[in-house]
Structures are given as C-alpha cells and as structure tokens.
Structure 1
Amino acid sequence: MRSRWIIFIAALIKMSRQGSFTRPNVVFIIADDLGWDDVSFHGSNQILTPNIDMLAYTGVPLERYYSHCICTPSRSALLTSKFAHVLGMQGYPLTNAEDRAIPLTEKLLPEYFKDLGYATHLVGKWHVGHSRSRYLPTFRGFDTHFGHRAGYIDYYEYLLLETWSKGQVSGLDLYRNVTPAWDVSGYVTELYTNEAVNIIRNHHISRPLFLMLSHNAPHAANEGAMLQAPPEQVRAQRHVESPQRRIYSAMVKMLDDSVGEIIKELQLKHILDNTIIVFVSDNGGITTGETANFASNYPLRGLKFSPFDGGIRVNGLIWSKNLTDSRYTWKGFIHVVDWLPTLLTAVGASVPKDIDGINLWESITSNNESNRNVSYEINDFDGYAAIIFNDYKLITGKVPDSYSTHEGKELKGIIGKAPPYKEALRKSATYKIFQSKGIQINISDVRKNTIRVDCNTNNYEELCHPKQDVLCLFNIKEDPCETENLSSRYPDIVETMHGLLMAEIKRSVKRKKTIFRDPKARPSLHNYTWTSWLDSVDKKTVQSK
C-alpha cells in the first residue's frame, strides 16, 4: 500500500513539473441528522442505500469517523479545521435571528480551494452565519450558493418556523446567491440534486471543481409536518412497520437517489475518474426529542445533542478511482476537523499550520494507523464536556438523560420480508456505472465490508450519566455502546484525560448562556424572508469611519 502511495506522489510531482497536472475535482456530500443505523453498509436491512453503499464498497468506508454532535458546530469545524469551541460556535445551533457566525478572521475550506484555481459551489445548507451579508457563502469562498442559510426548511414550501416569546414567526429561507428563490417549486432534495447536476454539467473542465452538496435530508421539517417525502416514495417503503420511520425511510431513499444522480452526471461529464467523493453525516440522528426525525443510531448510545457515540460517531466514506482496488474499511480515528488538511493534501496542495485538523490522506490511502488520538466535545452552553483519548472517552458535566440512552431498536420492525438487498444494489445507478467502467463488484460478497457495531445494550446494571460530581469513563473500542463506567477502576486514566480536557477548555471562546433573537430579524419586516437584517448596521458603521 505504501509503495502505491509513493508512486502516486511521484506521478503528481512529475505532472506538476511538466505543466500537465490537473488537480482532482472534489465533491463533498453532507447528509443532515442521518443516523448510524440508517445506511445499509452499516448493516441495515430496513433502510436500503445502494448508491451510497456502492461508494463504500468500492472506496474506503470510515469505521471511526467522528464529528461534533450538533449541526452548526460540525459545519464550523469542517469549514475551518478547528474545533467549534475555539471559534465560539459550540453548543446549541444558530437560530435565525441570532447575530453570530464563524469569525471573519478564519479562512474557510472553499477559500483554500478557490486560491488553487477551483470553481467553488455550495448547494444546500449553510448554517454558520447569515445575519450580515459578509457572513454568507458567496462572501466566504463560494462562487455560487443555492440553498438555505439556516438549520432546515420545509421540503416543499422552503419556510422555516421559529417560536419566539411572543409567538411563532416564519419566512422563506431558500436563496440563489443573495436573492430569495420565490420562483422554484418541488421537493427540496430533488431541487438540490438538480442544481448540483447542472453545476457539474455546465462546469468548464479547464478548472477543477469543488462542489459541496449539503442536503436538508433527512432533517425534520417544521412543527406540524416534521417528516415529508413524496407519497409514492413513502408507499414504496411499506415494509417499514413504524409509520413515522416509513416516511423517514423515504426521505433517506431520496437522499440515496441523489447520490446516484451525482455519480451518473460525473460519469457523463467524463470527470468521475478524476474526482474525489466524500459522503458524511453532520452528526448523529435524533430519534426523539427536539427536531426528532425518527433516525436510529442503534446500538450506539445517545442522540444528536449528546457527546455519546450516537451523537458524534457518524457515517463517513471517501471514494476515488485510485482506491477502487483496495476494498478495505479504514479503522483509523478521523474527526470532522481533519477534512481540510486531508483534502488539500489529496489535491496536491500545502496544509496550513494554525489548525486543529490532521492530514490523514496517506494514512487512509495506505490503510495505516491514524495520526489522530484525541478529540473534544466541549459545550459550555449546555454545560458538558467530553474528550476521546486513544481508546477511552471521558464525559463531564450534565448531559440531558433524554439524549443519553440507547434508542432506535424499537424502530427496526419490518412487515413481512425485508426488501432484497442484492437486487437493490444491481438496480442502483452507481452499480451500473461502475460495471460499465470495469470496476468489479461481487454482489454476493459485498457485505463482508459492512461496518457493524456489536454489543448487548441490555448487558449492564445501570448506565453512567455524568453530572457535575460524576465522571463517566468508557473504553469505546471494547465497549462502543458505552455501557460500563470504568472511572473507579482506572483513576489514573481519568486524571490524565481530565487534565487534558481542562487544558483544552481554556482555549474555548465562551458562549453566552442565553440566545438573543433580534426582533429586527422578523421575516414580516423583510417581505417574509429570513434575510441578513444587520447589513444596514454594517453600512452605517463603515460610513462613520
């Protein structure tokens, strides 16, 4: 494996010297609140994701991919390669009337690619600041943006509803660059897919492409219509026993179809062979509670909003034509902050120094151990903190019990027989494309690369719930479901990890304990849109200087 990597690097250097080097395209696909147990390459027989699976089976699925447990923090970390707590972006996600964003002093992922000559496009969710225009995607490295700026939208009407102290307010949150997209119609997953397809189709291949497709799916929509999918797609999921889970399954099906359409268009454009594809979830699923979408992280413990593995250990894979002969699952530790240096290395660029991310490209492509051994989940807004160090996780503070149990098993019910998995793979767009390219896939043997978490969640006396005076220590390698508290058995490990965590907390940019929703952001004041309502303040500030 290492010799292949050396040959690859040598070839890049040679092409660069000859002036014939074309940097690889990068397509980065993000699912929103997709559960660990909601992809079939993790073993699900209920929700089938054949297009995503084909990328995993012919690329490199990531067994230990970690993110932050909430959307705004995870996306901030992705874009900056810094842990969210050092940016002031940790904790409860941005609301639509909140004046907060990734600091303008930070250089973002698309800006690095833009400096390398890439065409840069964002389709879908942003959610790292929109109160002022200078916080928006097209002011921070993306050439274009079509999508929503905040946490989620209605799948058909593109509205976002918030409950304020004086009642509910709502407005349109779908934009083409800086213009409200009043003129579009359709199911938003299909809208985003069509936009991404058109970007690929119209891309001028004289420049490399960086495309981030950040889906709304399968995040819940507004109160009153939390789960939304086309009726015919819901009907096709009649094997799913739970009625809510059935709609969710259709939402995931649309997401998987989207992946297939992207692969098809890359092939039609004749750039698939020179494209790196990443597919991830931003955080764990949310089975119950706020913005519940009936996702399942089972058997992992915990949900979105919690530092347990159900909240932070998420779906991830990387695909490149150069990796299709490898057929291994990478078992190394990777965190969302690592994508920026890893992808920059993959396209032959230098890596910035003042970041938390680690370049793991060589480790992944050579199937070697990871250089990462520590990560943090620090949430001073809700009052908890966690550290992963080598094989152990330590959690301190107060984590809501409602987000800290093993949920999702009750959603696994199937009426009759599960749909035939091998048939779903054969019918998938991605399988057909790979077959035409001579990428050999043994359908009867693919599930040997399935990532499974095996543990008996009933095999414990009492779960440890961290509190101000209770620390919970787990060996997440041997006990991935976090059932056995080891803090009393290994006080030396607790002391070491607690010291590291306290040192890291000192780096945090503190968050206020309350969220201020600016009444001037009310959509009714802005033609019923959620917009950058503080631009006038910025303009006055500039004029006064």
Structure 2
Amino acid sequence: MDDRMPRACVLWMFLTATITKTSQDQRPNIVFIIADDLITNSLSPLAFVFPHPRIPNFLLHPPLLWLSSSSPPNTASSLSKPTNMTDKINVSLLGWDDVSFHGSAQVLTPNIDLLAYSGAALQRYYTHSQCSPSRAAMLTGKYAHRLGLQGYPIVESEDRGIPLNEKLLPQYLKELGYATHLVGKWHVGHSREAYLPTSRGFDSHFGHRGGFIDYYEYISEETWTTGKVAGFDLYRNSTPAWDVEGYITDIYTEEAARVITSHNKDKPLFLVLSHAAPHAGNDGARLQAPPDVVRGMRHVDLGERRLFAAMVKKLDDSVGQVTETLEKMDMLNNTIIVFVSDNGGMTLSIAQNWGFNWPLRGLKMSPFEGGTRVVGLIWSNAMSFTKNVWEGRMHCVDWLPTLLKAAGGEEVSGIDGLNLWDSITNGERPRRNEHFEIDDYTGYSAVVSGDYKLIIGQPILSHSQHDYGDELRGVIADKVPSYEETLRNSVMYSVLKKIGKPLDMQSVLSKRRRLTVQCGSSGNTNVTCQPTEDKMCLYDIERDPCERNDLSTDLPEVANRLYRMVKEEWDKRIPRTVPMFRDPDSRPSINNYTWTNWKD
C-alpha cells in the first residue's frame, strides 16, 4: 500500500474510481448520478401486445445455408485512491442530443458539460435499450439476458426483480467499509422486501421504487383492463414519505445534499443519485417542470421540447448543486463523479416523451444506436485524464468491476463486465471489443463487434427509425442564450475556478465539436434496412454511426461471424418469464393506497 496515494471521491451520475489495496480511510467516495429515461407513463401496454416472449425465426431455425456459405441471404428461413465515490448520477431516457456538450443549442446543460470537458466524456458508452435491464446490469455486472431481466421493464404490479442469488455493487462496497445510500429511482424489483434497496446492500433509500412518478404528487398510474389504477410511490426506507412536498428533482437534490453533509468522513461514501428526470410522469401530465423554468426556455421552438428542456435544466441544476455541496464539505478533491443515462430517449410512439437522439437512429426499446448509445462521463479532480474525449467502447455492465477497482476491491469472476479504469484514465487500448443486446421478449438481438453491428429479429418499427429530421432541434434565433455565457454563469464554472481547474474556452469549444456526431446533411432519415423476422442488417458503426447503409450482402463473412456470435450468446440467456402483470393483490386500494411489497 502506498500511503502517498491521493484520496478521491466518486459521484455516480454514474461514477467510478481505481485501484490497489488500501485501508478504509483511503477508499474513494462514489457518487453515482443517474438520469431517468423518460419511459412510457401508462404502464406496460406491451404486456398486451407481447403476452409471450417472441423469438426470431432464424434463432429457432438457423439459416444453415448462410452458416455454411460465404454470403447471408436477404431472406432466411487509479485514481490512486480516492476516498469518496459519488458514483452515480443516473438519468433515464435522456437522449443523445439532450445535452449541450453533444452540440444541442436547445437543451443547455452547462454543469454537466463542464464535468465532461474537465473530466472524460465517454463518446461510445452503451446500455441496454430499456431501464430495468440497464439498472440490473449496472448493479450486477451481468447482461440483463444472463439474469432473465431482458425486455420490457418491471411494472408496479409485477412480481419480478434482480434474482436474490445475485450480489450487487453496494454489497461489494459495504464489505470494503463504505456507507451506501440510494436517492431516487430503484426499478429493479419491489414486490417483496428481499428485492428492496435496503435488502440489497444500501444503508438507506429515499425515493420511488417503480419506473416513474408524478413530479409533484408522487403517484404512479397503471392502466388495467378495469381502468386506471394509481398509488403513492415515494418511500423513506420502508415508510411512505407522506410528509414530502415539492418538485421531485429538487427533493432528490436536497436529499443527496443532506446525505453528503451528514456523512461521517471516517468512512468512504457510495451515493447513487437516481433522478426521475427527465422520465415522463403519468398520462395527462407526462412532462412537468416549474412554470418559471419553462418560461426561461422560450428559445426552444416546439412547446413539448420547451417543457422537456425545462426538466433537463432542473436536472443540470441538480448536478451543479450536488457538486457544489461536495466542494463546500471539502470532499470534492477526493470524489469521482459519473453521470449517465440508462437508455436512449423516447421521442414518439407509445412512450412519447420528446427525448431526442439526433442524429442517431432509433429510440428507447430498440437495438439501434439511438436506443443504446447514451450520454456518459466520468470526472475527478485527483486525476489528469489522458484523453478528455474517450473513444473506447464501454457498456453499463462495466461499472461494477471498474468501480470496484477504483475502490481497491478484488476482481470479480463470473460476470460480463470489464474493468476499464486504466483504459479511461490513462488512455490505454480499450479492452471491450464487443457487447450484446438480447431480447427474447420483444423479439430482437444485436451484437457490436469491432467496427460492426448486426441486428437480428423484428424491433418495433416506430422505435427503429426517425420519421423526422432535425426539426425537433428548432430554436428561435434571437432568443438563444450564448453558450459561452451560459457556461461562465454556471455553478460548475465557479466550482472549477475555486479548485484551481479553470477551463480555456477555445479548448471547450474544440471538445464540443469532437463530441458532436456528424452523419451528413440527410441525418438519419435515409435508412436502407429494417430488420424483420427474415432479414438481418449489418452496419459499420464507426463510419456510419447513424446506421443508414446495410452491408450484410457486401460483407457476408463479417455478417456470418457476427451471426454466430449472437446465436452463441442467445443460447446462454435465461429465458424471459412472463409473470402475472396485473396481480390483483398489488392494488394500492387494498395497500393503504401505496405501491408496496405486497408479496410479503
């Protein structure tokens, strides 16, 4: 052990830290901030569309001619030792174009942007295409299909969760002496007490257990065949938080700040801040933001996008406030901050919420880049990142081993995740060359290997293409705030100056240009391949990130190799179960008007 190693904190907006063995007081704090994905708000219409898992024909009956031929047919029957890991600010359904460091002039996110510019922006960060699968993967280090949690997310009235034989990230960190806290969304099982956060390694949980809530009333609604069913879903550990009032993004920010200010610095901290924003709420009030914040978004052309931009503004304010609290408590210099979304935005279709993935193709619930390539960054003042724009590939399963390395933990065997800490911090050759999206419930699969991506099956058509161009990026020119002034007026800009890490504006603008994906003037509207039960699509996502040009007939050897990879991984899955979606015993009306752990 090197006693000279610097100490650091980690903020998980999804966050991460390094390393060799250290004593407890040297371990990094972790703050994990998660943005929510704006999933649909009337629960599980897909439960009725797909009452049983849908397995692509060619995976049940492989195209043997293709497997034995050269061409696929078009048809086929350290941080040395940070002390705190504020390891995660996690958001849901935040689209690729919903942060300004990716080039948006509509949705301005100065605090998030400055973390990216002064840390490492993860240019190729991937998740599963839906929220429960992504969150389960982050907590276990395993692909969702290895857990039986692939496909449509867990609903309030469903008896399902992360298998109880799985060990989660907070449980590993508690063994290393961490205080572990979750603020915000859980969404990986709540029907039984054994599924709840405080039974899975967290010392405390303040937040909602399901996928979404009303931003002011904290109610979650489902649509049953008998009509709407609604219940309260805001808890302080096991007790409904009936006393709470206010806008939920502010409430979660205040709670995260309270956790930080009351933390005993003799122990390392692991804080997950899992925001509701910018996830949609219930039908009739999907997008909610304080009126004064909405009025400040008058530069945004479309009304729905204006409201969405206000929700993201409150999310960005939260990032600034949490970071400022860490600085005031003299914890920021030994904190690592990670910020991520758990899947892509949902612009239209049954879950329309106006998140925008431009210029990437597809939405949440699809295997295309717009559904799975998402916002991600990592920051620490104790490290000098070799590359501020990290081009290596990372998947959400990689957080568990990466953060454990940062915390000085031992390597975990039997998981899918890779420790990428050295790759990200030192600019080393990335270790991850492939990742999978296997969904036997919706009926599609995909693999990324090297430069190429193969999609198999039948993703929902409306989720797999954009029926519009860049018109949703529209702004009223004479009302657009100055980007440079917005950065300089932010909380994060002041914090960086205080800690001696000011930014050169020319460097900032250069990084922003590098982080803006370019696909040509036609954007992602000129798609040439839509996967079906009998048609597979192959893309070179390094040269064609918008997935417009199908190469399956031009590169049959590549398509054949990737098909074999998908088939092999498909055979390793735990088949998705279909439990009772509308368990009558879950009704809030017989459970004190709350969504609770009714199976106990």
Please confirm whether the aligned pair reaches a TM-score higher than 0.5, indicating the same fold.
yes
- The secondary structure found in structure 2 opposite 1:37 is coil
Query: Residue 309 of structure 2: SS of its match in structure 1?
Result: helix
Change over 3 Å in CA distance of 1:381–1:204 after alignment to 2: same
Of 151, 156, 165, the match for 1:96: 156
Measure how far apart 1:7 and its partner are: 8.4
**1:479 paired residue number:** 544
**Which residue among 25, 29, 35 is the counterpart of 2:84?**
25
Match among 64, 67, 85 for residue 145 of structure 2: 85
Cα separation, partners in 2 of 1:484 and 1:207, compared to 1, 3 Å: same
Alignment partner of 1:160 is 2:165: no
Give CA deviations for 1:124-178 in whole Å, capped at 9, x if unaligned: 0000000001100000000000000000000000000100111110000110001
* Counterpart residue identity of residue 89, structure 1: L
Separation in 2 of the partners of 1:408 and 1:122? 38
Task: State whether residues 46 and 419 of structure 1, in contact with CA within 8 Å, keep that contact through their aligned partners in structure 2.
Answer: no
CA RMSD, 1 decimal: 1.9
SS of residue matched to 1:502: helix
TM-superposed deviation, 1:20: 6.6
Distance 1:176 1:507 in 2: 38
Q: In structure 1, what is the Cα distance between the partners aligned to 2:577 and 2:397?
A: 24
1:443 aligns with 2:508: no
> Deviation of residue 401 (structure 1)?
1.0
* Number of equivalenced pairs: 527
Under a length normalisation based on structure 1, what TM-score does the superposition of the two structures give? 0.94
CA deviation vs aligned residue, 1:404-460 (integer Å, no higher than 9, x gap)? 113562211111332111111111111101101111211243021121110136378
Q: CA deviation at 1:509?
A: 1.0
Contact between 1:457 and 1:483, CA under 8 Å: does it hold in 2? no
Q: Is the 8 A contact 2:98 2:356 kept in 1?
A: yes
- SS, match of residue 36 in structure 1: coil
Q: 1:458 is matched by which residue type in structure 2?
A: S
Mark the runs of 5 or more structure 1 residues left unpaired by the alignment.
1-5, 536-545
In structure 2, relative to structure 1, the CA distance for the partners of 1:8 and 1:188 (3 Å cut) is closer
Instruction: Report 1 or 2 for greater relative contact order, CA contacts < 8 Å, sequence distance ≥ 6.
Output: 2
Distance 2:209 2:244 in 1: 16
What is the identity, as a one-letter code, of the residue corresponding to 2:484? Answer: K
- Structure 2's unaligned 5+ residue stretches are 8-17, 29-82
Percent pairwise identity:
53
1:238 corresponds to: 298
Matches within 5 A, 1:150-299: 150-299=210-359
In the TM superposition, what is the alpha-carbon distance from 1:245 to its structure 2 partner? Answer: 0.4
Give the Cα–Cα distance (whole angstroms) in 2 for the partners of residues 502 and 191 of structure 1: 46
- Per-residue CA deviation, residues 346-396 of structure 1 (Å, 9 max, x unaligned), is 122212111000000000011122100111111111111111111111001
Q: CA deviation at 1:291?
A: 2.6
Does the CA contact (< 8 Å) of 2:305 and 2:472 recur in 1?
yes
Q: Are the structure 2 counterparts of residues 14 and 326 from structure 1 closer, same or farther at C-alpha, using a change threshold of 3 Å?
A: closer
1:263-283 superposed Cα distances (whole Å, 9 cap, x missing partner)? 000001101011111000010
Name the counterpart of 2:489.
Answer: 427
Q: 1:380 to 1:14 in 2, by over 3 A?
A: closer
Looking at structure 2, the residues matched to 286 and 253 of structure 1 have their Cα atoms a distance apart, in angstroms, of 18
Alignment CA distance shift 1:20-1:401 (3 Å): closer
1:25 partner SS: coil
Of the three residues 457, 460, 474, the one matched with 1:413 is 474
Alignment of 1:344-383 (within 5 A): 344-383=404-443
Change (3 A) 1:54 1:324: farther
Give the structure with the higher percent helix: 1
Asked whether the 8 Å contact 1:299–1:457 carries over to 2, the reply is no
Give 2:49's aligned residue.
none
The answer as to 2:596 corresponding to 1:531 is: yes
Contact 1:60–1:323, Cα closer than 8 Å, also in 2: no
Q: Once the two structures are superposed, what CA deviation does each residue of 1:270-318 show, in whole Å capped at 9, x if it has no partner? A: 0101111100001000001223210110000000000000000000000
1:46 shift after superposition: 1.2
The alpha carbon displacement at 1:25 in A equals 1.1
Report whether the alignment pairs 1:517 with 2:589: no
Judged with a 3 Å threshold, the aligned counterparts in structure 2 of structure 1 residues 85 and 171 are, in CA distance, closer, same or farther, namely: same
CA contact (8 A) 1:81 1:340 kept: yes
Query: Does the CA contact (< 8 Å) of 2:385 and 2:424 recur in 1?
Result: no
Match for 2:348: what amino acid? T
Q: Is contact 2:20-2:408 (8 Å) kept?
A: no
Instruction: Check if 1:452 corresponds to 2:457.
Output: no
Indicate if the aligned counterparts of 2:454 and 2:563 stay in contact, CA closer than 8 A. yes
Larger deviation: 286-295 or 177-186?
Answer: 286-295
SS of alignment partner, residue 26 of structure 1? coil
Letter of the 1:410 counterpart? E
For residue 112 of structure 2, what is the amino acid of its counterpart? I
CA–CA distance in 2 between the matches of 1:372 and 1:193? 34
Instruction: Give the whole-Å Cα distance in 2 for the aligned partners of 1:477 and 1:14.
Output: 34
How far apart are the structure 2 equivalents of 1:325 and 1:338? 19
Deviation at 1:236, TM superposition (A): 0.2
- 1:112 is aligned, of 145, 167, 172, to 172
Equivalent position SS for 2:496: helix
Q: Is the 8 A contact 2:387 2:427 kept in 1?
A: no
Q: Distance in 1 between matches of 2:558 and 2:580?
A: 36
SS of residue paired to 2:477? coil
Report the counterpart of residue 494 of structure 1 in structure 2.
Answer: 559
Using the TM superposition, give the Cα deviation of residue 463 of structure 1 relative to its aligned residue in structure 2, in angstroms.
2.3
* In 1: Cα distance, 2:475 partner to 2:421 partner: 40
Alignment partners' CA distance in 1, 2:359 and 2:403: 31
Are residues 1:393 and 2:453 paired? yes
**What displacement does 1:244 show?**
0.4
Secondary structure of the corresponding residue to residue 376 of structure 1: strand
Residues 538 and 559 in structure 2, CA contact (< 8 A), matched pair in contact too: yes
Q: 2:133 aligns with which of 42, 63, 73?
A: 73
How many Å apart are 1:516 and its aligned residue?
Answer: 2.6
Please tell me the residue identity of whatever aligns with 2:26: F
Q: 1:125 aligns with which of 185, 198, 201?
A: 185
**Cα shift at 1:496:** 0.7
Using the TM superposition, name which of 203-212 and 322-331 deviates more.
322-331
Displacement of 1:325: 6.2
Distance (whole Å) between structure 2 residues aligned to residue 272 and residue 436 of structure 1:
11
* Amino acid of the structure 2 residue aligned with 1:421: Y
Q: Does 2:378 correspond to 1:314?
A: no
Runs of 4+ aligned residues of structure 1 deviating over 6 Å after TM superposition are: 6-9, 12-15
Q: Letter of the aligned partner of 1:446 in structure 2?
A: V
Q: For the Cα contact (< 8 Å) 1:58–1:323, is it kept in 2?
A: no
Match of residue 64 from structure 1: 124
Does the CA-based 8 Å contact 1:101-1:135 persist in structure 2?
Answer: yes
Q: TM-score normalized by structure 2?
A: 0.85
In structure 2, distance between residues paired with 1:208 and 1:281: 25
